[in-house]
Amino acid sequence: EIVLTQSPGTLSVSPGERATLSCRASQSVDARRLAWYQQKPGQAPRLLIFGASSRATGIPDRFSGSGSGTDFTLSISRVEPEDFAVYYCQQYATSFTFGPGSRVDLK
């Protein structure tokens, strides 16, 4: 099983600042089948990024994904108030596993 670890556990930022979240896989993720989801309290997860770097439909361009192999990054160029949430990475190359999540909260 591919195990995903995410860091930091919590990132405190001010609106307008840049946020960078990391996702590391225990083994290489084939074909960059790595996704990022955003989840707000009481809501279902929402797909942000698929294929490591492609934005899902309707996702603002302040969200970007990068990486390959075992190291992936989600960046929010300028955090908006609606971006405070928990972010999960997921690999879907070999079965399906999710990371533990990274919380982005208000500094």
Q: Which residues bind other proteins (CB under 8 A)?
A: 33, 35, 37, 43-47, 50-51, 56, 88, 90, 92, 95-101
| Nearer of residues 45 and 76 to other proteins, judged by Cβ | 45
| Nearer of residues 58 and 81 to other proteins, judged by Cβ | 58
- β-bridge pairing 54-55 and 63-68: unpaired
What letter would DSSP give residue 20?
A: E
Shortest reach from residue 97's CB to other proteins, in Å: 7
Closest CA to 81 of 21, 20, 8, 13: 13
| Nearer of residues 16 and 58 to other proteins, judged by Cβ | 58
Closest CA to 87 of 52, 45, 44: 45
